[in-house]
Amino acid sequence: MDPATQGLLGAVTAQAILPARGGKHVWFAGLGAGMLPDADVILQPLSDPALPWELHRHFTHAYVMAPVMGLLAAGILFALPGFRRAWKLVIPAAIIGALTHAPLDLCTSYGTKVYWPFSMENATLDLFPIIDPLFTLFLLTCLIVAARRRSRTPAVVALVFVAVYAGTALVQRDAALDAQQKIAASRGHEPVRGRVMPMPASLLAWRSLYEVDGTMVADTVRPVPLGATRVAEGASLPIVTLEDFVADTTDPERVTSIFERFALFADGWTAYVRGDTSLVGDMRFGIDGRFSPPWAQRLGRAPDEPPIQWVQLGFGDADMSGLLAIILGTSEELRPLDP
C-alpha cells in the first residue's frame, strides 16, 4: 500500500505489542520502520531507465530483510538523544514495524519480492487496493487515540480491524473469482488463466481479467457481502507477445531484454495502448473494465530515438466518477450476474 498506510500499520502494531509506557518512542519507531522499505525509490537511478520501477518492492521488502530494515530505522532514530536512551524499546518497535511492511504489500496486486533471495517471484494475494482512504483513516484515528492516551487498547482495535478487513477482502475476492467464471462461461469462454484485483479505494469494485485464445478480457465486478453480485461489461484486447513487439526495431537485442522483463513485471498482461503498435502497456490495473494502463513501454522506430523507453500514462482518460458510481452501486453499466 502507500507509504503512509505502511507506516501507520507499523506504528499501531508496535503500540499494540510493546508496553504503553514507551509512548512516542514505540509508535514513532514503528511508523518510521514501517515506511522505510519504500525508500527503495531512491534506487531508481540504479535501475535500467527503460524499467525505472524494477527495483521497487525488491529486496528491501523481503521477509529476510525486515530485521535489517528495522535496525536501520532504529539507527537513524538514535540521532535523537531521547530515542538513544529508550533503545530497549526503540529497537523492537522498529523491527516490529518493519515486519508489517511485506505482508501488507503482499496483499495488493502490484507484486512484491517478499521471498528474495530464495525466489524472484512477484508475489501477490490480490486482496487489498493499493490505496484505500477509509482503511488509512481508521489506522490514523486509532494511532492518535493510542498515542494521546498512552494506551495499547486503540492499537489492538486497529489490528482487529485489519484482520476483519483482510477476512472481508478474502470473501470478496472469492466472490469476484466466482463471478469471473460465470461471466466467462456465459460467453462460451474457457480461460487459461485469470485474476481479480480490487480497484482503488474500496473492496466493492474489482477488476476481472482473464485470458482466452490469446486475448485478454476485462470486466468490472461488484460483489456485495450477503447481497447480489453485479457486473459492468468491459472490453477485450489481443495479448502482445515478444514476437509482435520486436518485429520493427533498430535494436532487437535490447528491446527483447526489456520486453521480457516488462512482461514479467506485468504478469504477462501486455497489450497495445489505444491501438498504437509502438506502445505496449501493463493492463493489470484500471479504473474501469476497459484498458487505460498507468504505464507502458514505447518502441522507438526512428534512428534518433531510444530503442525503448518507459512512459508514465497515469490512467489516461479513465473516468474517476465512473469508479465512484461502481463503488456506490449507482452506475448504469452495472447488470445483475446471471446465475
Read off the pLDDT of residues 295-309 as tens digits, 9 standing for 90 and up: 999 988 777 778 888
The answer to whether residue 339 scores a pLDDT higher than 70 is: no
Checking if the pLDDT of 288 tops 80, the result is no
pLDDT: is 243 or 167 the higher one?
A: 167
Percent of the chain at pLDDT > 90 equals 66
pLDDT per residue as tens digits for the range 82-136: 999 999 999 999 999 999 999 999 999 999 999 999 998 899 999 999 899 999 9
Residues 145 and 193 in one domain: no
Cis peptide before 67 (omega within 30 of 0): no
Report how far residue 153's alpha carbon sits from residue 78's, in angstroms, rounded to the nearest whole number. 27
On whether both 145 and 200 belong to a single domain, the answer is: no
- The number of domains in the chain is 2
pLDDT at residue 175 greater than cutoff 90 = yes
Give the tens place of pLDDT for each residue, 22-31. Answer: 889 999 999 9
Please state the separation of Cα 1 from the chain's center in Å.
Answer: 6
Among 134, 151, 168, residue at a domain's last position: 151
**Residue 53: per-residue pLDDT:** 81
Do residues 102 and 195 share a domain?
no
Task: Verify that 147 and 17 share a domain, yes or no.
Answer: yes
Specify whether 198 is located in the same domain as 292: yes
Kindly tell me the burial class for residue 205, based on how many C-beta atoms sit within 10 Å of its own C-beta (0-12, 13-18, 19 or more). Answer: buried
- Location of C-alpha cell 535490447: 254
Residues 304 and 221 in one domain: yes
Output the pLDDT for position 322: 83
Same domain, 138 and 229: no
Q: Are residues 9 and 117 in the same domain?
A: yes
Looking at the fold, whether 111 and 201 belong to one and the same domain comes out as no
Phi, psi of 246 (to 5 degrees): -95, 10
User: Per residue in 61-87, pLDDT tens?
Assistant: 999 999 999 999 999 999 999 999 999
CB neighbours (10 Å) of residue 243?
9
Cβ contacts of 68 within 8 Å, gap of 6 or more? none
Please say if the pLDDT value at position 283 is more than 70. yes
Q: How confident is the model at residue 188 (pLDDT cuts 50, 70, 90)?
A: very high
Give the domain extent around 255. Answer: 189-322
pTM for the full model? 0.90
Which DSSP string do the residues of 276-298 spell out, in sequence order?
EEEEEEETT--SSSS---SEEEE
Residue type, 173: R
Residue 166 lies in a domain: no
Does 64 map to a domain?
yes
Write out pLDDT tens, residues 323-333.
889 999 898 89
pLDDT of 214: 94
Is residue 191's pLDDT more than 90?
A: yes
Q: How far apart are CA 41 and CA 25, in angstroms?
A: 26
SS3 at position 198: strand
What's the mean pLDDT when you consider all of the chain? 91
Residue 183 lies in a domain: no
Q: What sign results for the dihedral spanned by CA atoms 74, 96, 127, 225?
A: negative
At 193-246, the pLDDT tens digits run: 999 999 988 899 999 999 999 999 999 999 998 888 999 998 999 999 888 888
Q: Are 127 and 135 in contact (CB under 8 A)?
A: no
Instruction: Give 112's DSSP letter.
Output: B
Query: Same domain, yes or no, for 225 and 139?
Result: no
Q: Is residue 327 part of a domain?
A: no
* Domain end (from 101, 131, 151): 151
106 belongs to a structural domain:
yes
pLDDT at 321: 82
Is residue 296 packed enough to be buried (19+ CB in 10 Å), middle (13-18) or exposed (0-12)? buried
Please report which confidence band the pLDDT of residue 315 belongs to, taking 50, 70 and 90 as the band edges: low
For residue 286, what pLDDT is reported?
Answer: 84
Q: Are residues 12 and 81 in the same domain?
A: yes
Report the pLDDT value the prediction gives residue 248, as an integer from 0 to 100.
67
Are 250 and 317 contained in the same domain? yes
Band of pLDDT at residue 184, cut at 50, 70 and 90: very high
